Every structure is written in C-alpha cells, then in structure tokens.
Amino acid sequence: MSKIRVMDEHLSNKIAAGEVVEKCVSIVKELVENSIDAKASEIKIELKEAGLREIKIIDDGIGMDKEDALLAFQRHATSKLYTDDDLFSINSLGFRGEALPSIASVSEVILKTCQNDIGTLIHIKGGKILENTNSEARQGTSITVSNLFFNTPARLKHLSSYYTELSNIIDYVNKMALSYPSVKFILTNDDKELLNTDGSGNLLKVIKAIYGANIARKMIKVECSNDDYEVDGYISLPEVNRSNRNYISILVNGRVVRNTILNRVINDAYQGFKEESRYPIVVLNLTTDPSLVDVNIHPAKLDIKFSNFEDLQTMISEMIKEALRNKLLIPKIEIKEKKTEVRYENIALDLERTKVNEASSEYTNNLSKLINFENEEKEEEEPEKITIINNDYIEEVDVEEKLPELYPIGLFLGTYIGCQNEKGIYLIDQHAAQERINYEKFSYLISHPSNNRISPLVPIVIELPLNEIVIIKENKEILDNLNIEIEDFGTSALRITTIPTWIPKNNETKTIRLIFEQIIKKEKNFNLAKFHDHLAATMACKASVKGNTNITIQDMESLINDLRKCHNPFNCPHGRPTIIHFSIYELEKMFKRSM
C-alpha cells in the first residue's frame, strides 16, 4: 500500500499559515496590504487586547463581489498575478494569494465587502465556511479575525505578551503610514486611539503624528536620483538619535523592507556627527521600476534584492552627507514648559536655527508654520577662501560661516571654554574641539600621502608576539601607503626605518604602536577609507588637550579660530558635540526676565 498521499487542503493551509501568520502583526500586515492594494484612502485597524482577542480592519477600497469574496479564501487565488511575466514586474504589495486562506485556517474570520451596491458576508472558522449571505452595502471591505490559533494550541502558547504584540503592531502601522502619507490610518486598541494620520499626503505631518512636533522640527528633507532610483524622505539632525536601528525606515515602491546593508550605509553617513552606538531617525522612500527589485524571496516579503545596488548605496550615502554638511548643527538648550499653552514673544521656529523669527502667540496650535518651515528661502553668500598651513598640512578650503564669531571669557571646570556674542552664550568642550581640529588635519594627511618622510636618528624597535608580526607583514601595503617602512629585528620585533613627517614629534613610537594595533584588529571586510578614518580619530584623541587642563585666553582664541576652519566644527570624530548654545531669550526665560 502506498505511504505517500496528497495533503488535505485544510492541513496544507495550516502548514502554510506557519510561514505567513507568525503573530498578530502578521495578520495586520497582510490585511492592511490588501486594503492598500484595493486603493483604500482610509484604513481603520481596531484591536482588542492588542489583537490577541480580535483584529478588525476596515477600509473604503474597491471591495469585492460575492464570487471574488469566496474565491479569495482559496489557496493561491489572487487578482494581482496572471502570467509568468507578471512575476518580474510586481506592482502590488500582496501577490501570492496565501494570506487569507492561511489566516482563515487558524482563526475565525468574518468578511464583509461590497461592490456595485451588493454586500456580501462570509463567515469562516478553521478553514470551513459557516455562512455565505448578503450583507449591508457599505463601500469597501471589513475583516474581523478572532480566536487566533484556536485549533493549533502549540502556536497559541508561543504568542508573545500583550505589550510585545501591541508594540509590533504599532511599529508596523507607523511604517505603513510613513509609506503612504496619502492614506488616512487610524489605529485603536481597546477603543483607545494610538495613531490618527490625516491622509493629506504630507510626509512631515505623518512624522509629527508618530514622533511628535519636536522631532518633526529637527528633520531634514532629502532627495536624489539616478537612472535607476529616485530617493526622497527625511533624515534627523545628528542630535536626534536612538539606541537601535528600528527608527530607520526604508520603503521601496511603498513596501516596508528590511535591509541591513542600507541601514549600515545610512548610519555610516552620520559618522563623525554622532556616537557610533546611536542611530538616526530616517524615513527614505525608494521609487524604481519593479523589474529592478525582487520581492519574492521571503514569505513575509520584507527582504528584497536590488539591481545596481552599489550605485544605490553610494547615492544614498552622498545625499545624507551633503544634507548634513549644509546645516548648522550647534545643539541648543531647550526650556520645556509644564503648561500646555505658552505665549511666545520670540522663538526660533525654522529648522536652520540660524536666526530668531517672531512667532505668533498661537504657534503651538498652528501646524502650518511647522510643516512649511523647510520651504523658507535662504540667502546664499559667496564662500570665503582661506588657507590652512600646519606642519605639512596645506589646503585651500571654502569656509562658510558655520560658526559665528565667538569671544572667549574664561574656562569652566578646567574643561569648557565659555564664549559670548550678541546671540548668547556658547560652551566649547576644549578636548572635543581640538580633537575635531586634529582629526581633520590627520584625515587629510593620511588620505593624501606625500613623499615627505624621514629616518629616525634613534631606531624605533617594537616588540610583538610572532602571530601579530605575521599579521603586520601580511598588511604591509597599508604601511607602504602611510610611508612607513619596517624590517625584521630578531624573531619577535620590528624595526621602523622610515616614518612620515606628519607623525607628532616625541610621539613616534606611540603612534606607530597605535597604527600596528589598528592593523592587527582589522576586520574581515577591510575598508581602507574606514581604516584611515578610524586611525585619524584615534590619533586625534591622543594628541588633543585633556579635560581639567587650564589653557590661556590666547590658546582659547587660537583653538576657536582653528575650529571655525573645520569642515564640521560641531562634533568630535566620535560624534560628541563640540559646542552648545544658550540663546539670550533662553537665558532671560530661565531668570524670569522674559515670559
């Protein structure tokens, strides 16, 4: 007797549900995507007990007739793909025809839909149709899912906690709202509203609804394109950051995707503007021909493959770097009010934060001023040319007035330089500031090697374990690029015969050891530019004045002048701020001189 049999349809649907329906958010995802594919302009997601008891999705899309409504619950029944060629140009969010039958096989589903003024109601439990009748003729579709995993208790037992399920759903709906700002999303849990976007098509308004007005004010609009991709969206100022990557939202043709490489490219573009362990808030929408991406590589359709991926990475990285270079990035001290309404006589509302604008007393309730701040015109001035000469570091650079003229008045706590001008008070971290100056100097010298080198009068001999010596020799081309020549000195030491002239005097041995250390802990996917950058940052830190070190007013003036010549005077190479600003208005407000 044959042992191989064809599976029962209900059993195969339960197995498929294991891939499609992992948790409550999986159901919300599949049903919301169906609503968007149905051209809905408003989608309501109503949860009971974070979706553990019930999930209800209501939309105003095109709906279905009775025949299509029944057919939608059959496996691989879809209106989105008809031929093999369609698979290479997927324009919809859903396309496999697995979601509804998979959901219905492990739960109880009530579908109400309408097309051409004829309403249909279908009630299914565990994959079996209990009811198929006419219903009220309301435009769109309503799907209620309850008793999730009632017939697969092992799956039910492994559902996450109430708060974890709710958090996952909120995160997904937030990303969908960012993907489709022209769709109104309403999310409620136990009749409590958690999200309500207006569907106006303004992405910044959606960012405000999700992250709040303070974050929305600190977002920078970005856009760029090449022959294959168009990219637009918003990135946060470096001072706005989070402890994980979850706030980086990448959307491809309106689809929420997960791509660790692009996340890393975005975060690396902020290098030097923030701490390495912190991540920016980013919303980027990539638009491309569907034939250039493959979304059919994962059941949840979160992973995606790109054509010409390297060009896309380079374009996004340059776009973010350019946007950050064009902004004034001095963090300001904000005074938070306990009252819900405050009348402001004078407060900065523009993102540039370079000048103070007069605002009406109703600014807190006037959203249009917030949303339109990025449209303000800026006067363009011809940049001044200056020349920096420091040791062998000679470069002519464009200097925009990134830092205002500052007048030092003293040193606080042996670490912070106090400055003032007509705009208020500034505090400069002397170590972070000099670290930035040294970093840009060393970065230039390392990445633009010259033939200026010398042979030390006193031989530099560095002892190392034999395994580390082998690693150094394997990477000799890195040393050659830095104009450092080595030779064996016995079996467990290296002698340095030539060094570049930019290595600080009296710190030659320490610097060479530092370079050796960086080579020894080199990563597998070695990148020479990153190595140079990390080396420059480490050398800058070692060569900079430490905290609790008193310096003269003349030294302060010299440091400030050098800082003003930097390409990025606002952060040390590790991302910490070099300078913060207390405006006159903020000071007067703290002392109750201004209301």
Q: Does the predicted model carry a pTM greater than 0.75?
A: no
Q: In this structure, is residue 356 part of a structural domain?
A: no
Same domain, 150 and 246: no
Burial class (CB in 10 A: 0-12, 13-18, 19+), 335: middle
What's the pLDDT tens digit per position in 371-430?
Answer: 344 444 333 444 444 333 343 333 333 444 577 888 888 888 888 889 988 888 899 888
Per-residue pLDDT tens over the stretch 310-329: 899 999 999 998 888 777 56
Q: Are residues 163 and 264 in the same domain?
A: no
From the centroid of its chain, how far is CA 127? 41
414 neighbors 524 (Cβ within 8 angstroms): no
Is residue 183 domain-shared with residue 305, that is, in the same domain?
no
CA 89/CA 253 separation, integer angstroms? 12
Match 């409590």 to its residue by tokens. Answer: 192
Instruction: Please give the structure tokens belonging to residue 50.
Output: 């974070």
Contacts of 561 (CB under 8 A, 6+ apart): none
Q: How many Cα atoms occupy the beta-carbon half-sphere of 59 within 13 Å? A: 25
On whether residue 391 sits in a domain, the answer given is: no
* 251 strand-pairing partners: 256, 285
245 & 165 share domain:
no
Residue 373 covered by a domain: no
Please say whether the beta carbons of 433 and 579 come within 8 A.
Answer: yes
Read off the tokens for 294: 């493959």
CATH for 141: 3.30.565.10
Per-residue pLDDT, averaged over 535-560, amounts to: 83
The whole-angstrom separation of Cα 107 and Cα 98 is 15
Domain boundary among 298, 325, 352: 325
Number of domains composing the chain: 3
Q: CA 332 → CA 336, 575, 579, distances in Å?
A: 12, 16, 9
Predicted local distance difference test score (pLDDT) of residue 296: 58
Cβ-count burial 107-132 (b if 16+ within 10 Å, e if not): bbbbbbbbbeeebbbbbbbbbeeeee
- 407 inside domain: yes
The H-assigned helical ranges of 62-193 are 66-71, 99-105, 153-157, 162-179
**CA–CA separation, 74 and 245 (whole Å):** 38
Assess if residue 206 is contained within a domain.
no
Mean pLDDT value of segment 297-306: 64
Which domain, by its residues, includes 92?
9-196
The verdict on residue 342 lying in a domain is no
Q: Which residues contact 108 (CB under 8 A, 6 or more apart)?
A: 123, 124, 125, 126, 145, 146, 147, 150
Same domain, 168 and 262: no
Are 78 and 34 in contact, with CB atoms under 8 Å apart? no
529 shares its domain with 444: yes
* Domain of residue 262, CATH code: 3.30.230.10
CATH number at residue 506: 3.30.1540.20
Q: Are residues 146 and 228 both part of a single domain? A: no
pLDDT single digits (tens) 125-159: 888 889 888 888 788 999 999 988 877 776 677 77
Position 455 in a domain: yes
Whether 382 maps to a domain, the answer reads no
Give the model's pLDDT for residue 3.
Answer: 63
